[in-house]
Structure formats: structure tokens, C-alpha cells
Amino acid sequence: MNILDFEALKRTLLEYKARRVMLTFHSLGDTDSVASAFTLAEFFTNATVATPDFITTNSRRMLVRLGFDERRLTTAFDNSAELIIMLDVNNFEDCGQFKGKLESAKSKIMIIDHHLAQGNRKENLLLFNDESYNSASSIVYEALKEVGFKFTKETAELLALGIISDSAEFKNSSARTFSEMGDLLRMANMNYASLIPILQRIASPEARRDSIIDLFNSKPTIISGLLCITGRARDHANQSADNAIRVGADIALFHALNNEISFSARMRPPLDRELGLHLGELMKSLSPIMNGHGGGHPCAAGAYGPDLTKADEFSRAVIDAVTAAVAKRYPKGYTSR
């Protein structure tokens, strides 16, 4: 494994600009990962964008609204690629059906990510991992700007949407975030408000009603000074968890039961840093309880599994882990800074 600094990242992009490149990301590609991949595809002369399975509804809507051809997105692994770039993910396990192919790949694999580094040790692996960035889109913007890429209105909008999405609508931001957003909005000749309809779809009245019912039926608990809301969602656990954070929860955990259990967890930034708690790692580590899988970001993560009898046990395990993390950092109870 080779650790890249920013200058080495730029050199690698330029070295492979005219060579065959495959761009990919984690399972269920989100706005940040898809925006990063499709923008980088505009930089390379011969690049494909491959998803291990699906991309989110928000990501698909973004591509359609901005005029990017969805047919460019494939589920086929490009074995002939000279460079594979993994965006917004730092391990093979979260890449679904691509896991085995990445492990056996002989070509160079470059990770561009803003999360805590994982223990990858492949000799052909190039790693640029910098947690000072709040999104992969932020890294891609800075790198492409430095190598002289000519941003179009559409690529500027893509990266702006990726930054907004992974910064939790600027709750997890730095001075660099706002500087980048200013640059991208000027390039796109847009204001912030005009991007929101692309990023967020107004749900149907029925869906909003159900989400409100989920909150009314949820269980709010104070854990050592933190408000934690847990509950069962009628349909979309992620929407209910997001809404719980919006109305004041510090931590939210909702699940839905269909053919499998689907959990969504959210945490108010910057609690991940204050508590030393990474929701993605937590959900991944506990997912075997329901014979499933999990992962995600420090403050937004999910898990799913086929064992429908384990919903309560999984919920208790998550809450116990949160309680332990709070007690470790704040023995007398959490006090906001």
C-alpha cells in the first residue's frame, strides 16, 4: 500500500488521464460518491463509471436533472482498466459484488476518501485519505482545479451537490467548504437555493404523514445528557431518522420491517468527533446480530439483515454502544461545548 499526499494524487490523475480508468464507489452509491465519479469521468479520456449494485434515488434524480447520461453507469467490472479509482469508500467489503474482483485485481487501485483509513495492505493500492475534507467531492474539486480541469456548469453543480450532501447541509463544514462552494456557485452561475430542489425531493403528503406518525410513535430517551430517539418506521427508516435529527435529537435510530430488517442511524455533527464514535463502523460491527451487513459515514449509517426476530436486540446493542461511548468520554454526562 502506498500513501499519497495531495501532490502525488494530482500526479496520478495526470499520469492516467489518457489511459483506461474505472471509477467506482460503495454499495448504494450516494450523492457524494456519484457526483465525484461522474465529474472525474469528464476529466479522463477513457473512463467508465461502475456501481456494485444501485445508486440512491437522490443520486439518480441529480444525474437526470443535470443532463448526465445514466447509460454511462454500468454494473460491469472493467477488468481491462489500468487504474481503478474507488471514491468515498476505503475498503473492499463495502463494494458489494466488486469485493472479490478488487481483491484479485492486478491493476493499480486508488482510493480517494475522507473517512478514517482502513487496514488495506495490497501492494497495488494507492491511498489518499484525508479526514480534513468533508466529502469526496471536495477532494475531487481541489485536485481537478489544481490540474487545470475546465469545469462546466454541470460538473460544478454536481460537486456542489456532493459537498452539500456529505457536509450534512453544512453542519460538518470548514472554511474550505464555504470557499469551495463559493467557487462552484460562481462557475455554475447559481445560488444555493436553486440547488436544493435537485438535492431534495418533496415527499408525497402520504409519506410525510407517515414520517410524522413515526416520530409520534418513537421513544425519546436521555442518555447521559444526549437525546436519543428510536423507533420503527412505517416505510423509510432513513427519512424518519433524518427528521428526528431535524427536530432536535442528538442520535436517532429507526428500523423498517419488510422482507428484511433495515436500520438507519443518524448523529448530530460533530458528536462523532466529540464521542469518538463512528456510526458506520458501529453498524458494520453489529450487523452480524441479524446476519446482515452495515456501514456508512461517521454521522449517517445503515444496516440490514434477513433475521426479522433480531430488531430489538440490534437496537439495544446500538444504544448500549452509544451509552458506553458517552460514558468513556464524559463520565459525568455529556456537556455541549
Quote the domain boundaries for residue 279: 205-329
Q: Do 184 and 283 share a structural domain?
A: no
Output the pLDDT for position 179: 97
Pair 22, 129 in one domain: yes
Same domain, 248 and 152: no
Grid cell digits, residue 71: 447509460
- Alpha carbon distance 229, 245 (integer Å): 9
Give pLDDT tens digits for 136-192.
999 999 999 999 999 999 999 999 999 998 887 787 788 999 999 999 999 999 999
Residue 133 lies in a domain: yes
Of 199, 233, 261, the one marking the end of a domain is 199
CA separation for the pair 227, 268 (Å, rounded): 10
Give the closest residue to 122 by CA, choosing from 149, 157, 90: 90
Angle between helix 136-146 and helix 153-166 axes, rounded to 10 deg: 140
Determine contact, residues 265/245, Cβ cutoff 8 Å. no
| 120 and 163 co-located in one domain | yes
106 and 14 in a common domain: yes
Same domain, 142 and 34: yes
| Same domain assignment for residues 240 and 184 | no
pLDDT of residue 119: 59
Q: Let me know whether 160 and 216 are in one domain.
A: no
Closest CA to 252 of 224, 273, 233: 233
pLDDT at 337: 56
Regions in the chain scoring below 70 on pLDDT: 116-121, 201, 336-337
Angle at 119 between CA 73 and CA 176, to 5 degrees: 65
Statement to judge: residues 216 and 178 lie in one domain: no
Give the per-residue SS3 of the chain. CEECCHHHHHHHHHHCCCCEEEEEECCCECHHHHHHHHHHHHHCCEEEEECCCCECHHHHHHHHHHCCCHHHEECCCCCCCCEEEEECCCCCHHHHHHHHHHHHCCCEEEEEECCCCCCCCCCCEEEEECCCCCCHHHHHHHHHHHCCCCCCHHHHHHHHHHHHHHCCCCCCCCHHHHHHHHHHHHHHCCCHHHHHHHHCCCCCHHHHHHHHHHHHCCEEEEECCEEEEEEECCCCHHHHHHHHHHCCCCEEEEEEECCCEEEEEEECCCHHHHHCCCHHHHHHHHHHHHCCEEEECCCEEEEEECCHHHHHHHHHHHHHHHHHHHHHHCCCCCCCC
Tell me: the pLDDT tens digits for 36-66?
A: 999 999 999 999 999 998 888 889 989 999 9
Contact 23, 87 (CB under 8 A): yes
Residues in the chain: 337
CATH of the domain at 63: 3.90.1640.10
Domain final position from 160, 176, 199: 199
pTM for the whole structure: 0.76
Do residues 182 and 47 make contact, with C-beta atoms less than 8 angstroms apart? no
- Number of domains within the chain: 2
Among the listed residues 10, 3, 15, the one whose alpha carbon sits nearest the alpha carbon of residue 126? 3
Contacts of 24 (CB under 8 A, 6+ apart): 37, 49, 50, 51, 52, 84, 85, 86, 87, 95, 98
pLDDT at position 49, please? 98
Q: Indicate if 123 and 221 belong to the same structural domain.
A: no
CA 193, 194, 197, 199: dihedral to nearest 10 degrees?
-80
The residue among 199, 219, 249 that closes a domain is 199
The CATH number that applies at residue 271 is 3.10.310.40
- Residue 201 CB-density burial (10 A; 0-12 exposed, 13-18 middle, 19+ buried): exposed
- Whether 133 and 60 map to the same domain: the answer is yes
- Verify that 188 and 265 share a domain, yes or no: no
